Amino acid sequence: MKMEDMVIVSVDDHITEPGTVFDNQLSGQDYATAPKLKVKPDGANYWEYQGKQIQSVALNAVTGRVREEYGMEPTNLDQLRKGCWDVDARIGDMNVNGVAASLNFPSFAGIDGGLFISADDKKQALVHMRAYNDWHIDEWCGKYPGRFIPIGCLPLWDMDETAREVRRLADKGCFAVTMSDNPTMRGLPSIHNEYWEPLWKAVTDCDTAICLHIGTGNVSPHPSMESPIEVNIATMPMAVAFGAADWLNLAALTRYPSMKVCLSESGIGWIPYLMERADYSHEQHHVWTHSNQYFGDEKPSERFRRHFSSCFIDDAYGLRNLDLIGEDNVCYEVDYPHSDAPWPNAPEILWKSAQFLTDEQIDKVTHRNAMRLYNFPMFDHHKREELTVGALRAQAREAGVDTALISTGGAAPLAAGEQPRPVTSGDIIAMFTKHAEPA
């Protein structure tokens, strides 16, 4: 196989939503009370919902910007690549990056739907969450069939409505849902509480995957406010291990042997050690911890391979140890338009790491695993040869997709005139705080 022959599906990307999300979905009072995109006096966009303001964060949409300007700024949509918020432009950006299909998590709604989960008026929140899901499936994904894997948010404050929404989404062809890896951070019961039983049954009945995105619950810590921010950035994927270990010990996995748990934006290099450690810990301690009540004769590592999948951006170490993780358990991600995204060079970076793999393993990791996990019939809509890296980039060249870097002349984390120094956790947190201030 050549690099140009790969078919790449990214299972972790993001939408910086346009202000028109609810325009075609709601009317009357439901529309009047829906989240609204507004503009501060300094030009920054923000969303307003039930008396709360939700900031737009530039670090979450810096793809295509000069790297010197990564940071926080007045984040008007016009300052970003149009592909961040316009689905037609997104297809162009996918083509130039050689990406056949993409799963897109929410932004203003919260990667785990947290905006609605934390809303005071839950009756309104249910209406607006469903409308958001319908916009995502029908307007964003639906405009280009076979190019987007749909994912839905859930009203996790009400298990009856949650189970109903899982089934409604499946009827619409959406077989992925997002939630926090640690819902106690949202004021909800832990995953080990019987509260969640209707969700486990619904996702299993519908063959729907639960996506646990990095940063929605167990987050990578800031050791100190003086610590360079790269300490936090470098350890983000490893923070997923806390949630993965918690879900690995979920008793419901015994009752629902086909339940699918996807670790999103997680990396894979840490997984072999976690499985080795979990197996050792279980063997050493199960007599007094009584964990055999739900593991039975199964090792934690065997349970991981049966239920869990993970994904990576650039993880040559993980791919060298693919046999320890499971070639059926790994997918690829781009993370567009976040700061880690390798746009528009994802194929080159992936190909360099994939040299350890056979052609069959490359096909699994790049697209076949994703199609199976998310019940995504991509080739029902497009021929394989139309979706290769080479074919998509040829379309981008013909369409004249512009990859010139964007510069608006600001937004660096350091103060104007300040001598260059490592950007710290304190700098970034101060920027978040500043841009969360009311308009």
CB count within 10 Å of CB 143 equals 13
Confidence label for 275 from pLDDT (cuts 50, 70 and 90):
very high
For 194-203, how does the pLDDT look when each residue is reduced to its tens digit (9 = 90+)?
Answer: 999 999 999 9
Query: How far apart (Å, rounded) are the C-alpha atoms in residues 327 and 320?
Result: 11
157: closest CA among 189, 194, 110? 189
Helix (DSSP H) and strand (DSSP E) numbers for the chain: 18, 11
Which has more pLDDT, 60 or 222?
A: 222
CB 365 within 8 A of CB 359: no
pLDDT at 43 > cutoff 90: no
Backbone φ and ψ for 166, nearest 5 degrees, come out as: -55, -45
Report the percentage of the chain scoring pLDDT > 70.
95
Report the pLDDT averaged over residues 54-60.
73
Query: How far apart (Å, rounded) are the C-alpha atoms in residues 380 and 270?
Result: 35
Whether the pTM exceeds 0.85: the reply is: yes
Domains of the chain, earliest start first: 3-435 (3.20.20.140)
Residue 289: what pLDDT?
94
| Residue found by looking up tokens 């069959």 in the block | 360
Query: How far apart (Å, rounded) are the C-alpha atoms in residues 421 and 65?
Result: 21
Query: How far apart (Å, rounded) are the C-alpha atoms in residues 248 and 38?
Result: 42
Sign of the Cα pseudo-torsion (415, 421, 422, 425, in order): negative
Confidence label for 107 from pLDDT (cuts 50, 70 and 90):
very high
Q: Which long-range contacts (CB under 8 A, 24 or more apart) does 141-144 make?
A: 141/104, 143/87, 143/88, 144/87, 144/91
pLDDT at 389 > cutoff 60: yes
Backbone φ and ψ for 194, nearest 5 degrees, come out as: -65, -15
pLDDT at 59 > cutoff 70: no
For 250-269, how does the pLDDT look when each residue is reduced to its tens digit (9 = 90+)?
Answer: 999 999 999 999 999 999 99
For 392-419, how does the pLDDT look when each residue is reduced to its tens digit (9 = 90+)?
Answer: 999 999 999 999 998 877 656 666 677 7
184: closest CA among 263, 255, 112? 112
**Strand pairing of 52-55 and 148-149?**
unpaired
Query: How far apart (Å, rounded) are the C-alpha atoms in residues 330 and 353?
Result: 14
149: closest CA among 139, 141, 158, 140? 141
Residue 411: what pLDDT?
57
For 75-100, how does the pLDDT look when each residue is reduced to its tens digit (9 = 90+)?
Answer: 788 889 999 999 999 999 999 999 99
Query: How far apart (Å, rounded) are the C-alpha atoms in residues 115 and 292?
Result: 38
Confidence label for 436 from pLDDT (cuts 50, 70 and 90):
low
Residue 423: what pLDDT?
87
Residue 69: what pLDDT?
79
pLDDT at 212 > cutoff 90: yes
Report the pLDDT averaged over residues 118-129.
98
CB 425 within 8 A of CB 225: yes
The CB-side HSE value for 130 (13 A sphere, CA atoms) comes to: 17
| N-terminal to C-terminal alpha carbon distance within the chain | 53
21: closest CA among 158, 176, 101, 130? 130
pLDDT at 188 > cutoff 70: yes
Residue 8 DSSP code: E
CB 174 within 8 A of CB 152: yes
Helix, strand, or coil (residue 305): helix
Query: How far apart (Å, rounded) are the C-alpha atoms in residues 99 and 333?
Result: 10
Residue 415: what pLDDT?
67
For 303-353, how does the pLDDT look when each residue is reduced to its tens digit (9 = 90+)?
Answer: 999 999 999 999 999 999 999 999 999 999 999 999 999 999 999 999 999
Report the pLDDT averaged over residues 379-404.
98
Task: Report CA 122 to chain centroid distance, whole Å.
Answer: 24
Residue 427: what pLDDT?
84
Report the pLDDT averaged over residues 105-114.
96
